[in-house]
Amino acid sequence: MTNVIIQIRADLKATTDSKTQKSFQRFFKEQVKYYGVKTETVGKIAKKYWPRVKTLDKKAIFGLCEELLRSDYTEEAFVVSFWLPNYIDQLEPGDLATFKTWIDRYINNWAKCDGFCNHTVGDLIQKYPETVTELKSWAKSDNCWLKRASAVSFIVPAKKGLFLEDVFEICDTLLTDKDDMVQKGYGWLLKEESRKHQKKVFDYVIKNRKNMPRTALRYAIELMPRELKQEAMKKDL
């Protein structure tokens, strides 16, 4: 199925967009590798080849995914992120170890991290809640992207109000992390949990605001009423 990879890359090269090429890098503080293809277009390309890919066995599918990730092109990572949520019925708890390896080796910007974790890992932990323990260990990693992954993998279930106590435990681990991508990741997670658990998230923020970086705090309270935001942002504590 190497031909699939060749064809995907040809399609990506053929659909580069000059405006996207010029603006892509400005969304990242680190240097990123990219073609300059709109995300919507990448999704169409991924969808085009999925009917062929999904007929393969898991080992072959994962092999294609890893080859795309290994290229370091952001759009090729996006193809993986479009494919694997469609494969959730075949995913098993043990696949999380593979995903951890991929994040550790190949994920190097927030877009790759969030694209992969929001749905692929997020769907897996909803299907197999016992895997949450493994996600908690990622929060203790030395790799900033694994740490961000430990938070953003819960974004979709958090919107439903799920895993609240596990989310607080992960946020406790990440609370004073110095990396702003980690801070934004767990702050975003708290924001999503606040949709269903505003008071509990607010109480968590108030309890921890002396130690919580302002970046994370601002993200966490973004959806809250003005008076709660003002209370949370007070400095005279």
CATH of the domain at 232: 1.25.10.90
Q: Are residues 131 and 75 in the same domain?
A: no
> Do residues 149 and 177 make contact, with C-beta atoms less than 8 angstroms apart?
no
* pLDDT value, residue 234: 87
Q: Based on the domain organization, do 22 and 129 belong to the same domain?
A: no
Question: Does residue 142 share a domain with residue 42?
Answer: no
Please tell me whether residues 114 and 85 are part of one structural domain.
no
Q: Residue holding tokens 């599918």?
A: 61
Q: Are residues 1 and 54 in the same domain?
A: yes
How far apart are the C-alpha atoms of 237 and 231, rounded to whole Å?
11
- Distance between CA atoms of residues 214 and 219, nearest Å: 9
Distance CA 160, CA 37 (A): 32
Is the residue at 49 inside a domain? yes
Closest CA to 30 of 106, 109, 96, 85: 109
pLDDT along the chain (237 residues), means of 10: 91 96 93 96 98 97 98 98 98 98 98 98 97 98 98 98 98 98 98 98 97 97 97 79
Positive or negative torsion for Cα 184, 187, 189, 194: negative
- Smallest CA-to-CA distance from 177 within 219, 212, 135, 134 is with 212
Residue 36 lies in a domain: yes
Rounded Cα distance between 160 and 125, Å, is 14
Residue 236: predicted pLDDT: 56
> 87 is written with which tokens?
């494969």
What proportions of the chain, in percent to the nearest 5, are helix, strand and coil?
75, 0, 25
The total number of residues written for the chain in this structure: 237
Q: Are residues 74 and 118 in the same domain?
A: no
Same domain for 208 and 157? yes
Residue 95 lies in a domain: no
- pLDDT on residue 214: 96
Q: Where is the domain boundary, 90, 117, 150?
A: 90
Whether 185 maps to a domain, the answer reads yes
The per-residue DSSP string of 165-230 comes to HHHHHHHHHHTT---HHHHHHHHHHHHHHTTT-HHHHHHHHHHHTTTS-HHHHHHHTTTS-HHHHH
Domain edge (last residue) among 90, 118, 150 = 90
Class of residue 26 by CB neighbours under 10 A (exposed 0-12, middle 13-18, buried 19+): exposed
Quote the domain boundaries for residue 31.
1-90
Cα–Cα distance between 20 and 38 in angstroms, integer?
6
Structurally, the chain folds into a number of domains equal to 2
Structural domain includes residue 103: no
Residue 98 lies in a domain: no
Task: Determine, yes or no, domain membership for 131.
Answer: yes
Residue 130 burial (CB count, 10 A) = 8
119 and 86, same structural domain? no
Domain co-membership, 163 together with 210 = yes
Residue 81 lies inside a defined structural domain of this protein: yes
